[in-house]
Structure 1
Amino acid sequence: MKIFFVEPAICLSAFAMTLTSPLTTQYVYRRIWEETSNYSFVSDSNISECGKNKSSPIFAFQEEVQKKVSLFNLQMDISGLIPGLVSTFILLSHSDHRGRKFPLILSSVGSLATSVWLCLLSYFAFPFQLLIASTFIGALCGNSTTFLGACFAYIVDQCTEQKQRTIRIAIIDFILGLVTGLTGLSSGYFIRGLGFMWSFFIIAMAHAINLIYISFFLGDSLKETSSQNVSISCSEGFKNLFYRTYMLFKNASGRQRYFLCLLLFTMIAYFFVIIGVSPIFILYELDSPLCWNEVFIGYGSALGSVTFFSSFLGIWLFSYCMEDIHMAFIGIVTTMAGMVMTAFARTTPMMFLVRLPFLFTIVPLSVLRSMISKAVRSTEQGTLFACIAFLETLGGVTAVSTFNGIYSATVAWYPGFTFLLSAVLLLIPAVSLCVVKCTSWNEGSYALLTQEESSEDTSDR
């Protein structure tokens, strides 16, 4: 008997992904620290490993380590860019006819292989530069964007009402927030209690269990279409992927095409800033004057993940009194305020308090996904989420690379510059949303598409 709930897979994947990111960053940070200096990295309440006095030698040394870690993160992200783009687009677009399970399975296999390699790397102390190769190979199978894109398409397949779709997507973001919050809270204790090797082993086990659940227990929401077009060649099938993307925009009316492109631009512009600045938080917290250890970083990650829960509550409550576009605008404005506050945070209590303005950071992403999904036909959801995932992969890697490069260049004279720049860049999606609103966008716009789809179905009979 098959289960048609993708939520357990999302929970396991969120746990593994949330634990992987801070562990990998801190592992690389310690390896570079130890290989650059002649002594081991010591992590406890003593701040001797983090100089706060700019005149001390340790301060200049840690700034050099910060630059090297940031540049290495840049190299890893670039290595997974091209394979991630190609695999994400092909897998998700192909899922419209072959089902959603295949991209879920393949991306889980890639994540499992990467986590196993991290275990071996930390156990045998292989050169950490080999992480670049594992990132490349893992991206070939589909990255986390591929996995989440397939999950969102799976959810949309099961939702018929517009409001139900918005709430269901918000529920997924809530689940992500709950799991990532608990995982982030415990990440520092994983490092202290188990060490890096066993922590990476737990991540590998989570991916393995997830793979088993998806392969043997999860039903496919589009199983009935999986047997279509079996006889077409690989080259023909690859050509059809791009053709379906072209038709996604061609079949839409001029007004719908305009809103579709504008909403995609708004979401990716916002996504670019949020994803790009996320890894910088850990480096910013490791640096002086904060000098956080792994436990404090875990606390910070947990507080940052509360935004998923608060964003879900915000969407659930705001949906009764305002339109989607207004909710998205609230999320963008409050996130801008959080970026500005972070740029000037110099104490631990202040760094914890800056999480408050980020309470609705996820609202624009959830709402804009829902708005975009309502602007296309039900038979084009996989192609749509393939486009979204493709743009998110391209934008995400470009953003992380860009922000790591900017942070590396500015950390010596002003570490908070990256966050001020983020606040300024968030003006772009804010202005774009204003354009959408001023051009007479409203919830009734979806009715036009519904009428078109119904008339086409009637004419085909």
Structure 2
Amino acid sequence: MGLYLVEPVVAIYAFASFLVYPLVQQYVYRRLWEELTNTTYPDHDLTSRCGNYSNHSSPHEDVQRAASLFSLYSELFSMVPSLVVTLLLVASSDRRGRKITIVLPLLGSLVYALSFLAISFFRLNLYLLVAANFVSSLFGGVGTLLGGCFAYVADLCPDGTRRTMRMAGVDMVIGLLSGVASLSTGYFLRAAGFNWPFVTAVLFHLANLAYVALVLEETVRAPADPPGPPPPDGAPPAPPRRAVLSLAHGVFALFAAGGRRRSALLVLLLLTFSSYSFANMGGLSAVTLYELNEPLCWDEILIGYGSALSTVVFLTSFAGVALLSRCLPDAAIVLVGLLSVMSGLVMIAFAKTTLMMFLVRIPMLLAIMPAPVLRSMMSKVVSKSEQGALFACVAFLESLSSNVAFAVFSSLYAATVAWAPGFTFLLGAGLCLLPIGLLGAVVIVGPEEAKEKEEEAILPQEETYPEENEPLA
């Protein structure tokens, strides 16, 4: 008998991904150092790596700039295919099932980890990583997987409060396992080099695929054959163009079928979520490069500790949602989280010592709260039969805003690292004012109580979904 537990999928994926992700920037940084300086990377000699230079452009700044632009190229090549696949897969999951949105991104991550292993082991051309990132994006990405997982959770949790907590729990699992992986990476890298962490990530992705294929149950029943005569022999039953139009119609109906009030509220919530993702992901995108830069000059162990401390942020954000949801409305919880992001980014911009860089996690203790609460607020607006279309839009906008933010902030960091390395963090903090303003519009357009009454009035009778451990008929 299978299980209706998607949290293990997210946990294993987060651990395997963050076992590799911190290594990507460090590996690229070291390879570019060797190519640009024609010297071996000084692993344990911080004076050589972060020394004082009499000229205006030190080798360290050149490597910082080149590494930031490399990240930009990688994101640009993978952004469009990942967005298209995310929208099509998650939107179609209302009819075709949620598991396809989980399996394909896992395959893409496996391809990327194997490619990284080959490039590291055989010392292949560094820019093959850009090609590997493009190929893996054809299977979707983290947005596809999370969109499918959150739609899966929405299928199982009809109650609004339970849904909020379950989605916050998924975010907490991501942070917890990513923190454990990040902490392990530094020691792993120092003890065994780059290759063994990649091998370990490959094994975890394989185990995850086995769990999804053999254990995880589907929450969406396969649709019956459409009415009408069968297609002629040799003709495809559903041409790709017709399938795309069908998906587009489903997303359009999400906004057109519920009335002006619901549509306006949904648009405002989506804009709030995407602007939060843009400011948060963009502001944090250059943290590892900032930590490698002088005057911090962190090594792989300190980077691992710093990444692992982010685990505390996910745990405290989950606890914050659990406690604050008892006494505050959803919009107030989101506002507290946005203020937490702003204060943390401002503190990073002025962090010049190791102690200060570790302490920036304190103002950011509630920075993850807006994501699960906004997802839950949106899922309460639509019916169960529209959850896939909704989370397709959410995943699409999250991936779009994150990728564009990464590209924009990487370019800005490369342009400003020589004279103002903290500029991108201040910019991210300033951009948090946009979701705060949109959140005010959400409060004006649709308080939660009025929203729920309107939902009951406009939504048709819905098909029931299985509970968490109830088998399908």
Asked if Structure 1 and Structure 2 have the same fold, meaning a TM-score greater than 0.5 normalized by the shorter chain, the answer is yes
Which amino acid in the other structure matches residue 38 of structure 1? N
1:317 counterpart = 2:323: yes
Q: How does 1:88-167 map to 2 (within 5 A)?
A: 88-167=86-165
CA contact (8 A) 1:50 1:288 kept: no
SS of structure 1 residue aligned to 2:285: helix
One-letter code aligned to 1:210: N
Aligned equivalents of 1:277 and 1:127: distance in 2?
30
Aligned match for 1:182, one of 156, 165, 180: 180
Q: Which amino acid aligns with 1:35?
A: E
Deviation at 1:454, TM superposition (A): 4.5
Aligned length: 454
Residue 11 (1) aligns with residue 8 (2): no
Matched to 1:200, the amino acid is F
Contact 1:184–1:305 (8 Å) recurs in 2: no
Distance 2:269 2:199 in 1: 40
How many Å separate the matches in 2 of 1:423 and 1:278?
10
Q: Secondary structure at the match of 2:448?
A: coil
- Which residue in 1 is equivalent to 2:54? 55
Whether the aligned pair in 1 keeps the contact of 2:384 and 2:462 (CA below 8 Å) is no
Tell me the amino acid that sits aligned with residue 188 of structure 1: G
Q: Which runs of 4+ in 1 moved over 6 A?
A: none
1:352-363 alignment, distance < 5 Å: 352-363=358-369
Q: Where in structure 2 are there 5+ consecutive unaligned residues?
A: 227-235, 464-473
SS in structure 2 at match of 1:359: coil
**Residue 222 (structure 2) aligns with:** 225
Alpha-carbon contact 2:265-2:446 (below 8 Å) kept: no
**Which has the larger helix fraction?**
1
Identity %: 41
The letter of the residue matching 1:166 is T
**Residues 93/49 of structure 1: CA separation in 2 closer, same or farther (3 Å cut):** farther
Describe how 1:367-382 pairs up with structure 2 within 5 A: 367-382=373-388
- 8 A contact 2:96–2:223 mirrored in 1: yes
Q: Aligned runs of 1:22-61 on 2, under 5 Å?
A: 22-44=22-44, 46-53=45-52, 55=54, 60-61=58-59
**Distance of 1:226 and 1:211 partners within structure 2:** 25
Instruction: Give 1:441 deviation, angstroms.
Output: 2.1
How far apart are residue 167 of structure 1 and its match?
0.7
Counterparts of 1:440-459 in structure 2 under 5 Å? Answer: 440-454=446-460
User: Is the CA contact (8 Å cut-off) linking 1:41 and 1:49 kept in structure 2?
Assistant: no
Q: For the Cα contact (< 8 Å) 2:3–2:215, is it kept in 1?
A: yes
Partner Cα distance (1:64, 1:210) in 2:
39
- 1:383 corresponds to which of 386, 389, 392: 389
Q: What is residue 84 of structure 1 aligned with on the other side?
A: 82
Using structure 1 for the length normalisation, give the TM-score. Answer: 0.95
Give 5+ residue unaligned stretches, structure 1: none
Deviation at 1:210, TM superposition (A): 0.6
Decide whether the 8 Å contact of 1:52 with 1:289 is kept in 2.
no
Deviation at 1:233, TM superposition (A): 3.1
Matched, 1:272 2:278: yes
Q: CA deviation at 1:227?
A: 5.1
CA separation of 1:455 and 1:102: change in aligned 2, threshold 3 A: closer
How many angstroms does 1:372 deviate by? 0.7
Q: What's the C-alpha RMSD, in Å, of the aligned pairs?
A: 1.6
Structure 2 equivalent of residue 297 of structure 1: 303
Return the alpha-carbon distance in structure 1 between the equivalents of residues 403 and 286 of structure 2: 14
For the residue of structure 1 that corresponds to 2:41, the secondary structure is: coil
